[in-house]
Structure 1
Amino acid sequence: HDLIPSNSNLRTLYNSNYFIKFIETILDLKKIYPYADTLSSINYNYYEKNQQLGWHFDNASFAITLMIQSPDSGGVFQYINKGRDFDNNFIDKKLIKSVLNNNYPVNNLSVQPGSLILFYGRNYLHRVTPVTSVKSRILVTLNYNLEKNIKLSENGRLTFFGRLK
């Protein structure tokens, strides 16, 4: 986020009251808030050959992703539409263990360039499988929350960005 120019169209879209209202309407939500984290509210994600993002839950309430470029092979978005209920402080440890041990069926989502996906990553266990082609997987992620002033933990900032600021 902090490396994206303040006058970029992406930042303008992210902060647009019209876009926020559009998302609230689609998701039938009363109010959403931009992610208060200066590193992770807007991200470009590049996955080159052999790169992946392991199973995880998001810190943000939900993300909007826009696929810019799909790899020729690999880089599949996989998810489980169970696993956690953040609002009720519930984690299905048995299910998660089964997923991590490859003993649970997962959903695969084929994402083509131009695909816009709204995803509740806070409650859905998900990952990106290793890219197996020379052609990279490139997407933009816009993160929003149902509560104000949500930020990544320091550990999260170090894990994803290698820095705190």
Structure 2
Amino acid sequence: MKPQAAAIEPESARRWLADAERTDLSALVDTARYPLHDFDDPQLQAEIGRVRADLEREGCAVLRGFLRPEALEQARTQGRELSPKSYYSSRRVNAWFTSDDESLPANDPRRIFMERTSGFVTRDLIPADAVIHQLYVAPVMKRLVAECLNEEAVYEYADPFAGLVQNVLPPGTQQPWHYDTNEYIVSMMTEAPDAGGEFQYCPNIRTPAGENYAGVGAVIREEDLFTPRTLALQPGDLQLFKGRYSLHRVTQVSGDRERHTAIFAYSQQPGVVGRLERTRQLYGRVSEAHIEAEKRREARADGLLD
């Protein structure tokens, strides 16, 4: 009796895993709008050109409707399943995450501390078949990000926790005004809250030449209500943001639903690992990779406070 041949799984039912050599994202991405299979396609090149222009002008750009509706629904369901794994931290911080300096005037922005409470699910807890994990490692995703940033290439973080994270903001929580420690961030909201949770930013309010404490202080003290911009994001939109120079925040979430956002951290060189103390603050733990990287850490070249 001949052994029965194994049934071939239909393409639609295949269980895709995160794979750094997988080049086909057509099951996840709206490739009619963003033809990632052909980077010479005029439509894709036009989108890349628009994103570059938006980043140059405002430090922020959005690829609307990046995910297919069915992939977005998967990502939303998976995000809800991941949410209980979140590590939450709550502390009062200033925009630079530095300690209080009593030698400064009381209204100096470095002495204005705001409540920050948020949760993160780290990469080591996100399954390989999760939609956001498949996107993060895909070479066409990295090429898209590199092209949009006008870089030769970008790389996944070597950091075992921070390369890919899901940010979770339950009702009543917020991310106050702050800067990012890296030049840019790529993110995608997968679950929108009932209300609140708006992304606001101040394009290039500081530069490598200086902190602009007067301008930053006016925003934080709510004396300047005109500089901050509010970006209307929808689940499934892909956002690129240069957060090292643009002060930004997520307003308080309200209603019954959490706000879930996938954060895809790439770097311009391989082997990047996050700062030891910042990692402990955000994720509640560090790894051997963080300890060893901290021993080799060099000072930031731009000389900014954080």
Q: TM-score, length-normalised on structure 2?
A: 0.50
* CA–CA distance in structure 2, aligned partners of residues 163 and 34 of structure 1: 20
Q: CA deviation at 1:6?
A: 3.9
**Higher strand fraction (1 or 2):** 1
For residue 73 of structure 1, the aligned residue among 175, 190, 195 is 195
When the two structures are aligned, how many residues end up with a matched partner? Answer: 163
- Verify the 8 A CA contact 1:35 1:60 in the aligned structure 2: no
Instruction: Give the equivalent residue in structure 2 for 1:43.
Output: 165
Deviates more, 1:147-156 or 1:54-63: 147-156
Instruction: Give the equivalent residue in structure 1 for 2:276.
Output: 154
3-state DSSP class of the match of 1:94?
A: helix
Higher RCO (C-alpha 8 Å, min separation 6): 1
Give the partner amino acid of 2:175: L
- Verify the 8 A CA contact 1:77 1:108 in the aligned structure 2: yes
Alpha carbons of structure 1 residues 14 and 8: separation in structure 2 relative to 1, 3 Å: same
Instruction: Give % identity.
Output: 28
**Over the residues paired in the alignment, what is the CA RMSD in angstroms?**
1.8
Per-residue displacement from partner, 1:95-134 (whole Å, max 9, x unpaired)?
Answer: 2211211122311111111111111112211111110211
**Higher helix fraction (1 or 2):** 2
Give the partner amino acid of 2:259: R
- Verify the 8 A CA contact 2:191 2:235 in the aligned structure 1: yes
Deviates more, 1:106-115 or 1:13-22: 13-22
Instruction: Give the equivalent residue in structure 2 for 1:94.
Output: 214
Instruction: Give the equivalent residue in structure 2 for 1:140.
Output: 262
3-state DSSP class of the match of 1:79?
A: strand
Residue 61 (1) aligns with residue 183 (2): yes
Q: CA deviation at 1:75?
A: 0.6
The structure number with the bigger radius of gyration is 2
- Verify the 8 A CA contact 1:83 1:93 in the aligned structure 2: no
Structure 2: any 5+ residue segments left out of the alignment? 1-122, 288-306
Structure 1: any 5+ residue segments left out of the alignment? none
Deviates more, 1:24-33 or 1:127-136: 24-33
